[in-house]
Chain A
């Protein structure tokens, strides 16, 4: 029964995809010759004027563009013409750097706050105020102080990734079961060993949930940040192709951004499964 459900779901998925492509093709395809005009003028105006074809590319055009990018993802022909692989590489690099920095800061600090009710209450207002700030609002401040657009993007990733991880670490650490802590106490386990052998494993699933939320937010924010700072990256690529009026490239980027985001999320989901313990 289980495999048949998966099979049917897969078939349905494919059917939806096919229907979508068909609709898309029909919607953007030409209807008929619209009006008679001078052939030279018609050539100048393009298909949208002569056959009523939409300026929106069809699935076949996008398919061709994807194929082109797949064939040569890493070319570099100057600052405004780089392969999509290179642009993605820049974005992933920035996200990785900002995110890992955030991990390195949020988890130890979260541990400290979670273990101390005093710190928890003292720092709570700051966290509550800073958490809802859109990460892009930090950008001018980052550009002014860091004076480097690429580093500013990394800082923005850092600042947006830190909050979910911090809050989840605090929560996970603070809600370590009393009985497990009592086991450590009756065994005279020292504070450092207790942190690594009891609190960390107990809080790990919650911490990983925070890390998973963070990577999702970081990948959302990098596109916007790169649109602002420009130069390189998939966000810059999207904006550049919009300026080039290359809708096929924009659609391709949307697909690629979605795929990479999914992979990042799945990686964290797998890590989460590794540290989750059944009770």
Chain B
């Protein structure tokens, strides 16, 4: 029970403590800083539809941030703006001290639908990215780097297959290898596993977690899978429903950095954060859009660190079945 104490001590209530862990990120810590971006589209009748506005979000180097929200809240637009595929209607994104303009090889994107070039082999797809990064590199070096990236995602031996010969999970692995092969500063993932079956999704989550922990990669990922966010993220950004979506709050993941997917639901704090996220998606994502608390500051949305809930206490009180056996 001793390792639970920090959580117990922080707050006894099941409600998120608004004051817990709200220390602001200092400017030197900010590796990525989304500063007041908005995205508006022209609507019929000369009006404008605002997908989201006045969105602020800082990220640390090496941090894994997940963004959760319902469809239509502009998650993908935020990611596209970070990637440089879309320009914000207002505001800027600063990466490593520079405002971004367009796409960059420093920011690799893993697309929702793998987006492999079907006329190229696995090696060809990854080598295409490598040769775009290192334009003057000799062919042997390009292939070597590509093969290394392919091996990292566990696809060694399939280099000469075409995407059509691969399963959905393997295709997405190639997509990950392609993104990793260019040594990006930031990895941007747009619901990368949403099209996969649960088993494949699990193994790929493990792979991504292992790779990101090993390389200290900075990651921004969009998902609507609460468990995926809890397993992978250091911080989870909650978006209210669109249009005119806002960052409702930022949830700090209380789970230790060293996580095991199969034992995740036994980890202390798991139920607290899971319930908090699901409550948000079910009710508060709508109520908060309609009526934001008076204290709401879009530049500094409240940072929440869910503390141990009764469900957690119950789960830990009775030993996990795996350990009992």
Contact = CB atoms under 8 A, between A and B. Distances in A.
A209 B297 CA distance: 58
Interface in B127-163: 128-129, 132-133, 162-163
Interface stretch (B32-40, B65-73, B114-122): B114-122
A177 B83 CA distance: 18
A261 B129 CA distance: 43
B118 A277 contact: yes
B230 interface: no
B115 A187 contact: no
A278 interface: yes
Contact of A182 (B85, B119, B128, B164): B85
B182 interface: yes
A60 interface: no
A155 B90 CA distance: 55
A229 interface: no
B111 interface: yes
Contacts of B162: 277-278
A182 B132 contact: no
A279 B162 CA distance: 9
Contacts of B115: 177, 179-180, 182-183
B109 A197 contact: no
B118 A279 contact: yes
Contacts of A275: 119
B117 A186 contact: no
A187 B117 contact: no
Contact of B113 (A179, A187, A277): A179
5 contacts: A182-B111, A183-B111, A185-B103, A186-B85, A187-B132
Interface string B159-199: 00011100000000000000000100000000000000000
B105 interface: yes
A179 B111 contact: yes
B108 interface: yes
B119 A201 contact: yes
Interface in A177-229: 177, 179-180, 182-183, 185-189, 197-198, 201-202
Contact of A279 (B85, B102, B164): B164
> Interface of chain A, helix or strand or loop or mixed?
helix
A201 B132 contact: no
Contacts of B103: 185-188
Contacts of B111: 179, 182-183
Contacts of A180: 115, 117
B104 interface: yes
Interface string A19-60: 000000000000000000000000000000000000000000
Contacts of B182: 187
Contacts of A277: 118-119, 162, 164
Contacts of A187: 103, 105, 128-129, 132-133, 182
Given A277-B119, A278-B162, A186 B83 contact: yes
B107 interface: yes
Interface residues of A, number: 18
Contacts of A198: 117
9 interchain residue pairs of minimum CB distance: A187-B132, A179-B115, A278-B164, A277-B119, A277-B118, A201-B119, A185-B103, A186-B109, A186-B103
Contact of A185 (B85, B129, B163, B164): B85
Contact of B132 (A179, A188, A278, A279): A188
B178 to A, nearest CB: 8
Given A186-B85, A187-B128, A197-B128, A278 B118 contact: yes
Contacts of B164: 277-279
Given A182-B111, A197-B128, A278-B162, A188 B117 contact: no
Contacts of A182: 85, 109, 111, 115
Contacts of B133: 187
A233 to B, nearest CB: 39
Nearest to A278: B164
B128 A188 contact: no
Interface string A263-279: 00000000000010111
A187 B108 CA distance: 8
B105 A188 contact: yes
Nearest to A197: B128
Interface in B258-295: none
Given A185-B84, A198-B117, 5 more contacts: A182-B85, A185-B103, A186-B105, A186-B109, A188-B103
